[in-house]
Amino acid sequence: MEAITLVLLAAGSSTRFGMGTRKQWLYQGHKPLWQKVADDFVNAFGFEHVVVTGSADDLDHMRRFGDYAVVAGGATRQASLRAALQEVVTPWVLVNDVARCCLDRIMVERVIAARDQAACIVPVLGVTDTLYLGDDPVDRTQARRIQTPQLSRTDILKRALESPINHTDESSAIRALGESIHFVPGSTHAHKLTHAEDLNHLACLEPPAPETRVGFGIDTHPFEQDKPMKLCGVALESPFGFKAHSDGDVALHAVIDALLGAAGLGDIGEWFPDTDAAYAGADSAPMLEAVIERIRRVGLAVRNVDLTIVAQIPRILPYKDAMRQRLASLLDLPPHRVNLKATTSEKLGFIGREEGVTVHAVASLGYFDWTQEHT
């Protein structure tokens, strides 16, 4: 399939979807939905050129899944498509929305086979319900429901999308340019995933695989006189705190790195640079919450967290319960999935000399189980 590039639009924010994650990140086995759709098309038709759009904060993560070209989408479908087309050099382009996640191979074959018929080949379905426009019934035999994927002549589609008018599909943009479109029969299997309840009607979907991902985090901070001390988001009675750009909550920093590690999302320094004035003296709890939110948005779920605080001083024991509760609440986990241990270094090294504290943390994550979250 040398002459056709597959464009997969997967930059949507899933505002109508109504789950903690976004639909392009619902895991199917071990693949996020966007990768499953791209792979299904490639396996069925042998596309050599594939461009996937993603939201800007997903790009790095998406690029770690395979060798598809991933480009930043825009605020609208049309803006995303325009960005994708900059990468397209083949004479034709087949555009599919990730929401159209169940490939109907026969239908797509019909679309591709008709490619010489017009500037844009469009799968359509008729309307079987009685149809009104405002207060007046209209002739439903003339009505058509437009589906994707549509196959377009790349040069014509590029010109059509220069229009400032926001078109919701390629055929309407190409038609507005005065170019030809050609209809082929669509498919009732190519149902769209818009709302969570649509998950019940999409036979091609499979549940996420059982998965345990482990991440490790470690952090050390020296003490600093006359600074409030915070550990695990809890304020400790202490004449000194931790020297740091932020509030110096060395335990939350270690937990954040463990979570990012398990998720494959880098490290705390990439997320919250200590050169950024926004994090000067910052409370570390919102940083942890932002990381949890990010993990959810890429289809993952935290299973458990365990950490060890290595400190000669301060004494951790009086605060252990409060710290565990606070961590559980920040992580949105029941307390039995959060464990906290404290030890000393037996007076050895910088910890033994009471110069600072080190925290080690381990976290495990699985795929978000979307099959349990809808009816």
d(CA 270, CA 70): 20
Binding flag, residue 115, Mg ion (CB under 5 A): no
How is residue 48 written in tokens? 């050599």
d(CA 119, CA 234): 63
The residue with tokens 């050129």 is 49
Burial class (CB in 10 A: 0-12, 13-18, 19+), 302: buried
> Closest approach of Cβ 250 to Mg ion, in Å?
6
C-beta closer to Mg ion: residue 111 or 330: 330
> Closest approach of Cβ 244 to Mg ion, in Å?
6
> Closest approach of Cβ 345 to Mg ion, in Å?
18
Binders of Mg ion among 232-261, rule CB under 5 A? 253
> Closest approach of Cβ 224 to Mg ion, in Å?
13
CB burial of 61-70 (b: ≥16 within 10 Å; e: otherwise) equals: bbeebeebeb
- Which range touches Mg ion (CB under 5 A), out of 57-65, 111-119, 170-178, 219-227? 219-227
Kindly write down the DSSP assignment for every residue of 288-308, as one continuous string.
Answer: HHHHHHHHHHTTEEEEEEEEE
C-beta closer to Mg ion: residue 98 or 285: 285
C-beta closer to Mg ion: residue 230 or 253: 253
Q: How many residues at the interface with Mg ion, by CB under 5 A?
A: 2
User: Is there a cis peptide before residue 149, judged by omega within 30 degrees of 0?
Assistant: yes
C-beta closer to Mg ion: residue 97 or 219: 219
Among 263, 205, 189, CA closest to 37:
205
Binders of Mg ion among 253-312, rule CB under 5 A? 253
**DSSP 3-state of 332:** coil
- Which range touches Mg ion (CB under 5 A), out of 55-63, 218-226, 269-277, 310-318? 218-226
Binding flag, residue 360, Mg ion (CB under 5 A): no
> Closest approach of Cβ 219 to Mg ion, in Å?
4
The residue with tokens 């004479």 is 91
Binding flag, residue 219, Mg ion (CB under 5 A): yes
> Closest approach of Cβ 269 to Mg ion, in Å?
9
C-beta closer to Mg ion: residue 170 or 219: 219
C-beta closer to Mg ion: residue 29 or 281: 281
Q: How many CA atoms lie within 13 A of 34 on its CB side?
A: 31
d(CA 284, CA 241): 14
Overall size of the chain counted in residues? 375
- Which range touches Mg ion (CB under 5 A), out of 217-225, 259-267, 273-281, 334-342? 217-225
Binding flag, residue 230, Mg ion (CB under 5 A): no
Q: Tell me which residue has its CB nearest to Mg ion.
A: 253
Binding string, residues 160-199; x marks residues near Mg ion by CB under 5 A:
----------------------------------------
Q: How many other C-beta atoms are found inside a 10 Å radius of the C-beta of residue 374?
A: 14
C-beta closer to Mg ion: residue 22 or 253: 253
d(CA 369, CA 375): 13
> Closest approach of Cβ 248 to Mg ion, in Å?
7
Identify whether the C-beta of residue 203 lies closer than 8 Å to the C-beta of residue 189: yes
> Closest approach of Cβ 231 to Mg ion, in Å?
12
Identify whether the C-beta of residue 190 lies closer than 8 Å to the C-beta of residue 202: no
> Closest approach of Cβ 285 to Mg ion, in Å?
14
Query: Under the rule (CB under 5 A), what is the footprint of Mg ion?
Result: 219, 253
